[in-house]
A and B are shown apart, each in its own frame.
Chain A
Amino acid sequence: MKIQLKDICHARSGDKGDTANIGLIALQERYYPLIARCVTAERVKKHFEGIALGPVERFEMPNIWALNFLLHGALGGGGTKSLKNDAQGKTLSTALLRMEIEIEETIRI
């Protein structure tokens, strides 16, 4: 069964220079192993193809059921240099929540 991350997570994103960070937080503890397994740095890099031009790093925060992603080169130069409407990457959090992951039918959401 396919679900969107928005069904099991909440998220917030922001900027540091030309790097965006996205904190992805599982809504329930039992969803954390699921996102830790499925939402890899590689998956996120592919999801943001054409947006994150540099590498993607991932950090685990199991204590708050969260993953933190750094998307390098994602803000069109960052700060006042960027021509993007979302120059600070504030909406990249919801863009990540679009991602679909495959889960077993037995897991009830």
Chain B
Amino acid sequence: MREKVRIASAQGFLGDLQTAPLDQVTKGPVDYVVMDFLAEVTMSILQKQKKRNSELGYARDLIPIIEQILPLCVSRNIRIITNGGGANPQACSEAILKCAKKRGIQSLKVGVVSGDDILDRIPDLRSQGIELRNMETGESLDPVLERLESANVYFGASPIVKALRQGAQIVITGRTTDTGLTLAPMIYEFGWSESDWDKLAAGTIAGHILECGGQASGGNFSGDWQSVPDLEHIGFPIAEAWPGGEIVITKHDNTGGMVTVQTVKEQLVYEIGDPRNYITPDCVADFTSIKLEQVGNDRVSVSQVKGAPATAFYKVSMAYLDGYTAIGTLTYSWPEALEKAKRADQILRARLKDMNLKFEEIRTEYLGYNSCHGPLAHGVQDPNEVVLRIGVRDRSYDVVERFGKELAPLILTGPPGVTGFAGGRPKAKEVISYWPALIPVEAVSPEVHINTL
């Protein structure tokens, strides 16, 4: 057994800093690189890409990243774990093997975790009495059934552990929890039992701290943000783990950013619900048990973590088509910038009314004034400029598209001092809405395959 394992976070979302993975494998020692690519709506976007081309549907950013880091990872025995397989982990694995060949790598084992995609099985599951009601509102799935675009079960660490045990040097998954990516190597390296809830919870919390990349090491830090050093060269977080479940969050020396109790706290509270019951497929972690301590420069220990047994359910993330939106902006300049923008909004709304165009929702915000804090925004004294931002949403494509034609005319037929229409007419875009549900664990089974070069 290894004395300790070092797990490096290298991507926090699809579109994150492209230089982070190479930095993580070159600027200091690591044993694993984990990359989270999947936000709530990402799966449906990837599902759509797969529908158009059966060789796509995964996080395409992953391939150039793998191309960069793979030779080093292979020679130093650093393993890579990512959910960047998205809607098509098999195609992703093939693209990786192709890229490995191109880089002259002789042999490689890629583990593929699939089975999370249950879209085709929904009628069957529902006939078995698995209703897939919305877990937040309790609503029946019936009204959106015909409009479903994707349905994926969140798997945890177990299938990744299985792939690692079969010798996978890279593990590509579909919809897997962000926390499972980090927990899996700990279970694998230390042989943790599947019912050692406190240790599983410790690894899960390490995963939660790592899942958003630089957000744990000084990025988006709301404390004394100006004191964060060298964000230009931010080092992404690394979790060092020991067999007893001890965790230290750190980053490589000679990188920017910082790892302090405060930066770790901010990531702990990010996107959580009830902190006593942080539910994952692997365990239920209690965030109120965590003790954080600064144990060195850019080193924070995470200890005393308590966990409880996993529930009998997996979460399912579904996405369905829910109409269209279009959003457009115009920029108004001093003097009376805000008044001009408000008058333009008034004129536009009157014209839409004259045409009898009705929307499920129309929303106006003034960037530079109230788009972030809404009614809480304090008054502004004669600002230099204000951006008028108007959006509409409706089930009808035509109505939304027609709105797009009404914005540009305001330039020559509305208040003066206006610019910023270089982007052209706002286009109607499909809305993908999110439908969370629960499914009994025994109703689905993760599949693990090993592809070799």
Please tell me if the beta carbons of A78 and B288 are within 8 angstroms of each other in the complex: no
Which residues of A have CB within 8 Å of B136? 17, 19
Please tell me if the beta carbons of A64 and B265 are within 8 angstroms of each other in the complex: yes
Give Cα A21 to B267, complex, Å.
12
Task: Tell me how many residues of A have a C-beta within 8 Å of chain B.
Answer: 43
Query: Which of A70, A79, A80, A91 is the one whose CB lies under 8 Å from B373?
Result: A91
Please tell me if the beta carbons of B393 and A64 are within 8 angstroms of each other in the complex: no
Which residues of A have CB within 8 Å of B35? none
User: Which of A62, A64, A97 has the most CB atoms of chain B within a 10 A radius of its CB?
Assistant: A64
Please tell me if the beta carbons of A12 and B220 are within 8 angstroms of each other in the complex: yes
Task: Tell me how many residues of B have a C-beta within 8 Å of chain A.
Answer: 50
A-facing residues in B17-68 (Cβ within 8 Å): 40-41
Q: Which residue of A lies closest to B365 (CB)?
A: A85
User: Which of A63, A66, A86 has the most CB atoms of chain B within a 10 A radius of its CB?
Assistant: A63
Please tell me if the beta carbons of A25 and B270 are within 8 angstroms of each other in the complex: no
Q: Which of B196-204, B247-255, B406-414, B428-436 contacts A (4 or more CB under 8 A)?
A: B428-436
Please tell me if the beta carbons of B373 and A95 are within 8 angstroms of each other in the complex: yes
Please tell me if the beta carbons of B374 and A85 are within 8 angstroms of each other in the complex: no
A-facing residues in B271-300 (Cβ within 8 Å): 271-276, 287-292
- Binary CB contact string for chain B from 423 to 453 against chain A (1 if under 8 A, 0 otherwise): 0000001011110100000000000000000
Interface contacts (Cβ under 8 Å), in number, total: 130
Asked if A85 meets B389 with Cβ closer than 8 Å, knowing A10-B262, A63-B288, A64-B290, the reply is: yes
Q: Which residue of B lies closest to A22 (CB)?
A: B269
Asked if A21 meets B272 with Cβ closer than 8 Å, knowing A61-B288, A62-B288, A63-B290, the reply is: yes
Q: Does B232 contact A (CB under 8 A)?
A: no
Please tell me if the beta carbons of B392 and A68 are within 8 angstroms of each other in the complex: no
Give Cα A62 to B432, complex, Å.
38
Please tell me if the beta carbons of B271 and A14 are within 8 angstroms of each other in the complex: yes
Please tell me if the beta carbons of B292 and A23 are within 8 angstroms of each other in the complex: no
Please tell me if the beta carbons of A83 and B391 are within 8 angstroms of each other in the complex: yes
Query: Which of A84, A93, A98 is the one whose CB lies under 8 Å from B365?
Result: A84
Asked if A51 meets B375 with Cβ closer than 8 Å, knowing A15-B271, A81-B325, A81-B433, the reply is: yes
- Binary CB contact string for chain B from 190 to 222 against chain A (1 if under 8 A, 0 otherwise): 000000000000000000000000000000111
Asked if A10 meets B393 with Cβ closer than 8 Å, knowing A86-B372, A94-B222, A94-B372, the reply is: no
User: Which of A61, A63, A77, A80 has the most CB atoms of chain B within a 10 A radius of its CB?
Assistant: A80
Chain A nearest CB from B390 CB (Å) reads 9
Query: Which of B222, B275, B287, B322 is the one whose CB lies under 8 Å from A11?
Result: B222
- Binary CB contact string for chain A from 72 to 109 against chain B (1 if under 8 A, 0 otherwise): 00001111110111100001011101100000000000
Please tell me if the beta carbons of A78 and B434 are within 8 angstroms of each other in the complex: yes
Chain B nearest CB from A7 CB (Å) reads 12
Please tell me if the beta carbons of B274 and A59 are within 8 angstroms of each other in the complex: yes
Please tell me if the beta carbons of A47 and B376 are within 8 angstroms of each other in the complex: yes
Give Cα A84 to B434, complex, Å.
17
Chain B nearest CB from A5 CB (Å) reads 11
Please tell me if the beta carbons of B40 and A79 are within 8 angstroms of each other in the complex: yes
Please tell me if the beta carbons of A16 and B393 are within 8 angstroms of each other in the complex: no
Q: Does A49 contact B (CB under 8 A)?
A: yes
Q: Which residue of A lies closest to B267 (CB)?
A: A12
Asked if A25 meets B432 with Cβ closer than 8 Å, knowing A80-B41, A91-B372, the reply is: no
Which residues of A have CB within 8 Å of B347? none
Asked if A27 meets B223 with Cβ closer than 8 Å, knowing A14-B270, A77-B433, A83-B325, the reply is: yes
A-B contact pairs, 11 of them (CB 8 A): A10-B222, A12-B269, A21-B270, A64-B290, A66-B269, A79-B41, A80-B429, A81-B431, A83-B362, A83-B392, A85-B372
Extra A-B contacts (9), CB below 8 Å, given A59-B275, A83-B325: A10-B222, A11-B266, A12-B267, A21-B269, A23-B270, A48-B376, A51-B375, A66-B268, A79-B432
Which residues on B are within 8 Å of A, measured CB to CB?
A: 40-41, 136, 220-223, 262, 265-276, 287-292, 322, 325, 327, 361-363, 365, 367, 371-376, 389, 391-393, 429, 431-434, 436
Nearest 9 interchain pairs by C-beta = A23-B269, A83-B391, A14-B271, A85-B371, A91-B372, A83-B363, A10-B223, A12-B266, A50-B375
